[in-house]
Chains A and B, each alone.
Chain A
């Protein structure tokens, strides 16, 4: 995707309308980040400080390792998440931020820091997770209690299906590839499963894995039969158009489903905690934030740090309270954030931050569809995915 300078222009217009604390910047700084509202807001604030060039790109993760390997780095800073931080830290491309935080970061929350062996490598801006969104009107009409576990959710969906009030009772991001694998990852963690043995050999071919597959097949019968092409945006639209009654969806979409400008059911969707598996909530916590390049001058790094701090200033967060689950000071969780907070307050775990899960996630991504379409049975599916993981991890040097 091309650099999205148009977005940047829009973000600058937004920033121009908001008067924030003085953050005048004189050193040229370049940022690259993912492209969604929270990053548009932050880069918009940075642009208002002057001398900042921002690139918002959904596929930024494919660029950053090579871009930051250059000396000097092609960008001063990048957005990162649990999983995109792994290759950056492995290749030692990020600058430890402790000195800069001590000098400029007094206004940050300590729990925004991603620390590795005591060194702060990144600063999170907001968190994301997946939780239940449901049509309050439909559930109360049918006298269904708000589900808290996946079993209750399926039972509720069956009742809604029998009542025939919506096209399909539920929607789920089960698009073949990353999304479908992510559903498995969450459910398997929810069952209390461990993906690996102590020696990093795979361990998903067991009762818990079978239980997850059985549940995924069951969920498939309650959805639009085209669910293998349905991603998060597709499910959000289904919800907005009143075609489904419930979904377990990314918290970052909570604003959109109740947005009167986009949604025909705005105000009717209520957020609740992520649904429980046998062991814990079957959702994972993600952080999203900024990190500064190692291969740039100290002067540029200090300027980048000041911009990061400015982009998360209390007045910025207050002005954009409902656009993300902010981790910085000034955030007041509203109705839209309720589901995410209840999920985190429960026992949901962070998405794992290691190289093996990357390999496992892609093995799941290419191996699960055959089960969902009925081409393969559950036992063969799990065995094949384990084999695919082993051959992938061996090729990548992760397993002997």
Chain B
């Protein structure tokens, strides 16, 4: 292809990527090193508010932002270096926790407890998603041709559901005396509160994510299975390979590029875990890095947000994903170079 033609084809998407990905990213990076604040003045103000029995009037010192000539709030932006990152990571507390060798102290720092959950969540669900997906794919591949269509459709359902909605419906099955909790209570003959402690909520979140994402792995693996070389399989059968040996030495090596692909996608997705925290109202017990960013971004009662810390936390999340992706990506790169 000519250089010019190439540029014309690629240009629009490069432009879009710069506009919608690179530019916002740079702006977040910039904001994580700066703080923008309104300029405040202290004034004495008399305020009367309604009470049920009459007005309540008080005179108090109020902090009020100054307005500029256009009637907008006057703000000033200052460079703060790594201060916002320090506020997120809390290195002083981290040092004390390490010095004391106390895991509990460490988990009481919001960032580190969020990092702990996010990592465990990502790494624990990965093999489960791959394994479940492969199992379903093998099972479907071996079912009768007639019922294949319906089976594939049913297996895909969890993936079609919007994540937050799926999490909420599972939450309602378990919350309070939800159907499943009531069922478990009847079966085990004891009182169960699924949302009262961290480990049950975490368990529900792991199971939910695997249930939700495994169909995607299944579809990809199923497509891969259709391209397995039949000659190789037949040769293996003639050599006396068992079903397990065929899977281990013929099918899985053939699917390996797909495993890497799914791993990359899953690492990126799972590290950004957020829907589960919202859906299962888990924030009292476990939080994720994305939740932490969201918490900074949330307006407080009087409409202010912590944009700088939110930006710092978002950048840290991105660095985390980059590090995690580094492992499988390096492997791919090495293989590419080797071949």
In the complex, A380 Cα to B104 Cα: how many Å? Answer: 12
Least Cβ–Cβ distance between A218 and chain B, in angstroms: 17
The smallest beta-carbon distance between B309 and chain A, in angstroms, is 6
C-alpha spacing A175/B65, complex, angstroms: 32
**Are B283's CB and A177's CB within 8 A?**
yes
Assess the A228–B285 pair: CB atoms within 8 A.
Answer: yes
Most buried by A among B64, B198, B285: B285
Q: Mark A357-400, 1 if CB is under 8 A from B, else 0.
A: 11101100010011011011000100010000001100111100
Q: Give 1 or 0 for each of A334-347: 1 = CB within 8 Å of chain B CB.
A: 00000011001100
Report B-chain residues with C-beta under 8 Å of the C-beta of A84. 301-303
A110 within 8 A of B: yes
Interface presence of B189 (CB below 8 A): no
CA of A226 to CA of B178, assembled, Å: 12
At the interface, yes or no: B51 with Cβ under 8 Å from chain A? yes
Cβ-closest chain A residue relative to B75: A397
11 A-B contact pairs sorted by A residue (CB < 8 Å): A69-B72, A113-B50, A116-B48, A225-B193, A226-B196, A285-B52, A285-B56, A340-B52, A359-B302, A359-B304, A362-B300
Chain A residues, CB < 8 A from B62:
354
Q: Write out the residue numbers on chain B whose beta carbons fall within 8 Å of the beta carbon of A3.
A: none
A355 x B49 contact (CB < 8 A): no
Using CB atoms and an 8 Å cutoff, list the residues of chain A in contact with chain B.
61-62, 65, 69, 82-84, 86-87, 90-92, 110-118, 124, 127, 129, 175-178, 180, 200, 224-226, 228-229, 234, 285, 287, 289, 325, 327, 340-341, 344-345, 350, 353-359, 361-362, 366, 369-370, 372-373, 375-376, 380, 384, 391-392, 395-398
- Quick check: is B11 within 8 A (CB to CB) of the other chain? no
Residue from A65, A83, A327 within 8 A of B301 (CB atoms): A83
A114 touches B283 (CB 8 A): no
Please give, as numbers and ranges, the residues of chain B lying within 8 Å of A369 by CB-CB distance: 283-285
B interface residues, Cβ below 8 angstroms from A:
35, 37-40, 45-57, 60, 62-65, 67, 71-73, 84, 87, 104, 107-108, 110, 175-176, 193-198, 281, 283-285, 295, 298-304, 306, 308-309
Known: A350-B56, A366-B110. A90 touches B306 (CB 8 A): no
Flag if A391 contacts B87 (CB, 8 Å): yes
- Closest Cβ of chain B to A381, distance in Å, is 9
Verify B283–A111 contact, CB threshold 8 A.
no
Partner of A375, one of B108, B281, B304: B108
Q: A86-B303, A357-B301 are in contact. Are A395 and B46 (CB under 8 A)?
A: no
Taking the closest CB of chain A, its distance from the CB of B251, in whole angstroms, is 44
Cα A354 to Cα B40 with chains together (Å): 13
**Nearest CB of B to A12, in Å:** 28
From the candidates A113, A129, A397, name the one contacting B37 in the complex (CB within 8 A): A397
Q: Give chain B nearest CB distance to A376 CB in angstroms.
A: 5
Pairwise interchain contact A127-B38, C-beta atoms closer than 8 A: no
Q: How far is the CB of B175 from chain A (nearest CB, A)?
A: 7
Are A327 and B306 in touch, CB under 8 angstroms?
Answer: no
Residues of B within 8 A of A325 (CB): 52
Residues from chain B with Cβ under 8 Å of A177 in the complex: 283
A395 partner, pick from B35, B50, B73, B176, beta carbons under 8 A: B35
* Cross-chain contact A113 with B48 (CB below 8 angstroms): yes
With contacts A92-B67, A285-B51, A375-B107 known, is A224 near B193, CB below 8 A?
yes
Further contacts, 15 of them, CB under 8 A, given A226-B193, A397-B38: A61-B299, A115-B48, A225-B196, A226-B176, A228-B285, A229-B195, A345-B53, A354-B63, A357-B301, A359-B302, A362-B300, A373-B285, A392-B300, A392-B306, A395-B309
Give the complex CA separation of A117 and B45 in angstroms.
6
Pair A355/B195 contact, Cβ less than 8 Å: no
The reply to whether A90 and B65 form a contact with Cβ atoms under 8 Å apart is yes
Query: Chain A residue with minimal CB distance to B36?
Result: A397
Which residues of the partner chain B approach A110 to less than 8 Å between Cβ atoms?
55
Contact B55 A61 (CB under 8 A): no
Residues of A within 8 A of B197 (CB): 373
B-side contacts of A370, CB under 8 Å: 108
Residues of chain B within 8 A of A69, CB atoms compared: 72
Contacting B284 at CB < 8 Å: which of A285, A287, A289, A373? A373
Minimum C-beta distance from B27 to chain A (A): 18
B193 touches A395 (CB 8 A): no
With A115-B47, A375-B107: A175-B281 Cβ-Cβ less than 8 Å: yes
